Chains A and B, each alone.
Chain A
Amino acid sequence: MKRFEEFVYKILDSKKNKMLVVLITLLALVGSIMMLPTKIVKAKMLPGKSDNTFSIYIDTPTGSSIEQTKKVAQCVIDSLKDEKEIINMELYAGMGIPLDYAGLVKGSGMKNSENVAEIAVNLTDKHERDETSYMMVHRLRPIVKKKCEPLVKGTVIKFIEQPAGPPTLASLVVEVTGDNLKKIRELSFQVANILSKVPKVVDVDIMADDIYKKYELIPNKDKIAKSGLTVDQVNKIIYLAFEGMVIAHKNSAKEPDQVNIFLVLDPQTKKFNTKSLEALKDKLSSMHLMNRMGMLVPLTEVVDIKEVPSNPMIMHKDLRRMINVIAEADEESQVYPLLEARDRMIKYFSKHGYKVEKEPGMSTYMFDLHLTDKKTGEKFLLRWDGEMKVTLDTFRDLGGAFIGALVLIFLLLVIYYKSYTLSGIVLAGSFLSIIGVIVGHWVADLVTRDTFFLTATSLIGFIALMGISSRNSLLLIDFAKALMEAHGIKKRRAIAIASATRAKPIFLTAIAIILGSALLASDPIFGGLGVALISGTVAAVFVSLIFVPVLLDNTKAMNFDDEIPYHHDKSNISITK
């Protein structure tokens, strides 16, 4: 204790030493903060979470049959069959798996068409398994995609992991917004193309229907009327013949549900020979309708057949036409591929006839790009949504919360000390724990196998630390003040004694916090919080025992030694008795 007291006193007693302490602290602060832009410490909203399940979404091109989709799904399942850790797989063809959190925002519950399928893959318990689910996905993704995507051209296979926090549509989402449908379709393909070339970006998908060839039967109203039929009748019969309809039902005591009577053409006879106009005409000519006079009229007589491209779905978001391009970041925070992709987009679109402007100002849409077609003057917007938006929103809000915490603590201290300088010192001291937080993440990243990200939970840890380290400084000031007032000790000596005496409880509570957070640090999601608390507390100890005394020594607000000790509040000195 005595030695530490002398150590602190020595620092305070020499101007050179004091400068040195301030300099080292500032260097450490700048150095640690620089770790963020230089990507030594990477930021992400939430890290991956190992789970006992993941799912695979299969999208064959719009217009594919359920048989084609199932073929791809079968391939996926076959290529996963040798995985030791998988205990069962469920295939849901033509629909989504029973709703889960990931599926909630990814629209899996709305899936209802022949070109979709989802597979739920259940694994052994995560504690019994060495490989985390996200590592497994990382390993399997390229194998499965390479093998099964070529089976049906245009198929996209996506691996979906359970989100660690709130679910988002995808980690990378670009909303291509504009009025010209054809153009935004074109743009979205270009965006997808750029995204798929960025390293670590996987599962790129354009959320728009593919355009395929289809045939339109146009009822010829004149002919229908002349042959004694009705348009309604014609439409109904065509549907009945090829799609079939429930024409009657029957209740029964023996059945759990109503039994329907379903009428359709025999699959053998309704099959077309080829996928062509002729085959369709041929088939329709053998179908007859009965008119009012009881005569049979061939169907081809009353309809015209035309080949047309299919009409893709039109998507709106907030009343504007939009096409989503989504992608996932593989084992990486979405921030860095996003910035990379954005740079490439700026280059690409500037070269290809667009004027590219960045979103002005600071907002959570600050990465958006405005495109203007140089020829037509049409405007388009590339908006980043998905995890990036949530991340920016969260970091903005947490930043706001942090500033709020600063202000509240400052006010509390001003009320307590009635001095702005002292309150400022306490605040500065507690802010410095950021050095520990960032360095701690860097060390954690070095010792762990995966990338250890600075996450939203790290920020929460940092905010909590503010309170802890301000408490350290607070008790220190209290103690020194009391020594000066009650015992008339000189300011410099009093500060040295205070920091030496407070060292024990400060260490004690620091150890309690470190031990308390040790188990937290191993958690995938709250690891950031744990690491922030542990390393931040270490930094806070040094800051409050060495740096804060230096500041205190230099401030006049701390000059209690020459005050007459009769008007002070008695309770403030009590702990030093």
Chain B
Amino acid sequence: MVNYTPKDWAGKLAKGFLTNPLTSVLGIAILILGFISLEIMPREEDPQIAISGGSVIVPMPGASPKEVENVIVNPLERKLREIQGIKHIYGMAMNNVGIVNVVYKIGERREDANLKLYDKVMQNMDKMPKGVMQPLVKPFDIDIDIPILTVAFYPIKGTKVNYEKLFKITRKIQQKVNAVKNVAKTTLVGAHKPQFNVEVDLNKLSGYHLSLGQIMKAVQSIAVDVPDVKGRTKTKKLLMFGVKNAIESVDDLKNVIVASYMGSPIYLKDVAKVTRGIDFQNFKKTYITFKKGKNLEELRKAKFSPLKEQITLTVAKLKGTNAVFVAHDVIKLLNSMKEQLHKEGIGFVITRDYGKRANDAVNELVDHLLITIAIIAVMLIFALGFKEAMIVTFTVPAILAITLFIAFIGGQTINRITLFAFLLSLGLLVDAAIIVIENIHRHLHSHESEEKPMDVLLVEATDEIGPPTNIATLAIIMTMIPMLFVGGMMGAFMKPIPLNVPVALIASLVVAYIFTPYLSYKLLKKPVHKHHHHHQKHKKENPS
């Protein structure tokens, strides 16, 4: 046991861990925990800012904007204003529909926010004006709404893939992608569904003396699904027969009898063009043009393909999951289907990959962090000596590991701002360790400590600088605390800095007090004879 009673908790920590065999285990454990946290913590490029809000959409067919404003938007706005925590209300009065969007203050919990909005609308259902359709409440859901991956599927030139087939195949792919772990919402943007199109010729219609309504009724009356029918035979046996939906193919539809004219039937095909195609009433379409090349140079020189129609598959991830892993899994799945798709005449391009972006951003900063640590280490070798510099350099990953682990437990993600918080604190982190090692160094070489055993000397040296170091570190932590209360989007965006820098600073103190004396005990030796330059220093400190 160390024969010295420390006054400050700096010395107490140093004493407690100096000769403890578990200290090395603790050090390794901290490093491993940090490394695991770095690997499995969800990565993203920018921190998620939770914006809660939603829209209330109230259709009112046939109303003009001013009517909608008076009847729907104004009363609805007044009611929604009653909700706590709302920042802005935006109302839009258009032809046939009124929309009111609410945006909550930053930091409002999404579940509560959605519930309050829904509740307010439902409570006031009795005040709904007449002629208004059921209101639709749609909360924003950023996690699910912002896709992390988008893939464009397009027909390869020269193959006979029509749009309908493209849709069929992408729909199948969507099903498979949705089954991937942690994938949330997937959508097909620009998808056009197959449909039977009946295009009625107006001139023929008047020629046959028909109205559009008749045609509609004729088709509707045939396109029905009926359950199986039971019939009985004379011998009391059951005879089952099913009525098939009369319309199975385009031809069935073509031969629907619309009316009879002068005794002969008029078929649908006589008055209309009936085709199987896509929903052309949907004007939304997506196109893509791209370059192909094996490497960057080729890519730069390549020519763009002509603009062709495509279907974009968008993939969003579940909240709190790692975008990097999700994107990676989905891309792996797609690549495994590549050959098969190629055979069918379909190609794809990945047009957005936030997983890769987040990973690149994080990796780049981790590299920066390592480079910075190396630079500081080199500087310390010149200033303190090799072994001392190594001891200080070890403390940096240990501090970062503790901070990362605490951030991980606290449910944070690794993003650019978290890593900037680390870079920002890096210069401050080595400080505590430098102060401790400098004092140890001084004690080792001073005359007074010649007689003291190594362990006592280390604890004493650490204990000595405790109070001023604590106060200095506390001063820096104090500057960070008020930043926690910065409001708005920017405050939420910057939050990782005031959250992580204080933790890192406290960790730097603890690590400096535990591991610096411990490692010094293992690595440093008491000099056998005095260096003369310390003599000079000594003289200066005792000027008389």
Q: Is the CB of A243 within 8 A of B490?
A: no
Q: Is B529 part of the binding interface, using a Cβ–Cβ cutoff of 8 Å?
A: no
Q: Which of A248, A288, A508 contacts B223 (CB 8 A)?
A: A248
Q: Is the CB of A517 within 8 A of B423?
A: yes
Q: Which of B288, B424, B427 contacts A509 (CB 8 A)?
A: B427
Q: Please indicate which of the listed interface residues B64, B66, B212 has the most CB atoms of chain A within 10 Å of its own CB.
A: B212
Q: Is B136 part of the binding interface, using a Cβ–Cβ cutoff of 8 Å?
A: no
Q: Is B238 part of the binding interface, using a Cβ–Cβ cutoff of 8 Å?
A: no
**Taking A53-B352, A247-B216, A247-B219 as contacts, is the C-beta distance between A89 and B288 under 8 angstroms?**
yes
Q: How far is the CB of A80 from chain B (nearest CB, A)?
A: 9
**Taking A88-B351, A408-B482 as contacts, is the C-beta distance between A94 and B284 under 8 angstroms?**
yes
Q: How far is the CB of A366 from chain B (nearest CB, A)?
A: 17
Chain A residue contacts of B492, Cβ below 8 A: 166
| Contacts of B437-479 to chain A: CB distance below 8 A | 438-439, 464-468, 471-479
**Taking A94-B283, A489-B543, A505-B438 as contacts, is the C-beta distance between A259 and B475 under 8 angstroms?**
no
Chain A residue contacts of B216, Cβ below 8 A: 240, 245, 247, 263
Q: Is the CB of B427 within 8 A of A318?
A: no
Q: Is the CB of B290 within 8 A of A88?
A: yes
Residue of B nearest to A364 (CB): B488
Chain A residue contacts of B251, Cβ below 8 A: none
Q: How far is the CB of B519 from chain A (nearest CB, A)?
A: 19
Q: Which of A237, A461, A467 contacts B211 (CB 8 A)?
A: A237
Q: Is the CB of B489 within 8 A of A390?
A: yes
Q: Is B24 part of the binding interface, using a Cβ–Cβ cutoff of 8 Å?
A: no
Chain B residue contacts of A474, Cβ below 8 A: 468, 471-472, 475
Q: Is the CB of B287 within 8 A of A93?
A: yes
Q: Is the CB of B541 within 8 A of A513?
A: no
Q: Which of B81, B213, B481 contacts A290 (CB 8 A)?
A: B213
**Taking A98-B312, A259-B195 as contacts, is the C-beta distance between A166 and B146 under 8 angstroms?**
no
Chain A residue contacts of B178, Cβ below 8 A: none
Residue of A nearest to B439 (CB): A575
Q: Which of A109, A167, A261, A461 contacts B195 (CB 8 A)?
A: A261
Q: Mark A11-46, 1 if CB is under 8 A from B, else 0.
A: 000000000000000000000000000000000010
**Taking A319-B77, A319-B78, A319-B91 as contacts, is the C-beta distance between A464 and B479 under 8 angstroms?**
yes
Q: Is the CB of A100 within 8 A of B273?
A: no
**Taking A243-B281, A401-B482 as contacts, is the C-beta distance between A311 and B64 under 8 angstroms?**
yes
Chain A residue contacts of B152, Cβ below 8 A: 88, 90
Chain B residue contacts of A511, Cβ below 8 A: 379
Stretch at the interface among B30-38, B121-129, B202-210: B202-210
Q: Is A314 part of the binding interface, using a Cβ–Cβ cutoff of 8 Å?
A: yes
Q: How far is the CB of A565 from chain B (nearest CB, A)?
A: 15
Task: Give the docked Cα–Cα distance between A363 and B187 (Å).
Answer: 44
Q: Mark B386-421, 1 if CB is under 8 A from A, else 0.
A: 000000000000000000000000000000100010
Task: Give the docked Cα–Cα distance between A1 and B299 (Å).
Answer: 60
| Contacts of A106-137 to chain B: CB distance below 8 A | 109, 112, 114, 120, 122, 124, 128
**Taking A92-B286, A487-B543 as contacts, is the C-beta distance between A397 and B379 under 8 angstroms?**
no
Q: Is the CB of A515 within 8 A of B476?
A: no
Q: How many residues of B contact A (CB 8 A)?
A: 146
Q: Is B342 part of the binding interface, using a Cβ–Cβ cutoff of 8 Å?
A: no
Q: Mark A383-399, 1 if CB is under 8 A from B, else 0.
A: 00000001001100110
**Taking A104-B146, A124-B299, A315-B91 as contacts, is the C-beta distance between A529 and B286 under 8 angstroms?**
no
Q: Is A220 part of the binding interface, using a Cβ–Cβ cutoff of 8 Å?
A: no
Q: How far is the CB of B4 from chain A (nearest CB, A)?
A: 14
Q: Is B225 part of the binding interface, using a Cβ–Cβ cutoff of 8 Å?
A: yes
Q: How far is the CB of B312 from chain A (nearest CB, A)?
A: 6
Q: How far is the CB of B70 from chain A (nearest CB, A)?
A: 10
Q: Is A143 part of the binding interface, using a Cβ–Cβ cutoff of 8 Å?
A: no
Task: Give the docked Cα–Cα distance between A511 and B426 (Å).
Answer: 12
**Taking A128-B296, A262-B281 as contacts, is the C-beta distance between A52 and B357 under 8 angstroms?**
yes
Q: Is A99 part of the binding interface, using a Cβ–Cβ cutoff of 8 Å?
A: yes
Q: Is B181 part of the binding interface, using a Cβ–Cβ cutoff of 8 Å?
A: no
Q: Is A558 part of the binding interface, using a Cβ–Cβ cutoff of 8 Å?
A: no
Q: Which of B68, B88, B146, B206 contacts A286 (CB 8 A)?
A: B206
Q: Is the CB of B225 within 8 A of A512?
A: no
Chain B residue contacts of A509, Cβ below 8 A: 427, 430-431, 434
Q: Which of A53, A314, A478, A575 contacts B464 (CB 8 A)?
A: A575
Task: Give the docked Cα–Cα distance between A313 and B205 (Å).
Answer: 38
Q: Is B516 part of the binding interface, using a Cβ–Cβ cutoff of 8 Å?
A: no
Chain A residue contacts of B157, Cβ below 8 A: none
Q: Is A270 part of the binding interface, using a Cβ–Cβ cutoff of 8 Å?
A: yes
Q: How far is the CB of A518 from chain B (nearest CB, A)?
A: 8
Show 6 A/B contacts (Cβ-Cβ < 8 Å), sorted by A.
A100-B352, A248-B223, A261-B196, A394-B491, A512-B431, A533-B424
Q: Which residues of A line the B interface, CB within 8 A? A: 1-2, 45, 52-53, 66, 74, 77, 81, 84-95, 98-101, 104, 109, 112, 114, 120, 122, 124, 128, 165-167, 233, 237, 240-241, 243-252, 255-257, 259-270, 283, 286-290, 296, 311-319, 390, 393-394, 397-398, 400-405, 408-409, 412-413, 416, 456, 460-461, 463-464, 466-468, 470-471, 474-475, 478, 487, 489, 497, 501, 505, 508-509, 511-520, 523, 525-526, 529, 533, 571-572, 574-577
Q: A262-B196, A316-B73 are in contact. List 6 more A-B contacts (CB 8 A).
A: A1-B540, A93-B284, A93-B285, A288-B206, A412-B478, A516-B423
Give 9 nearest A-B pairs by CB, closest first.
Answer: A404-B482, A513-B427, A316-B91, A467-B476, A166-B489, A516-B427, A88-B290, A248-B223, A401-B482
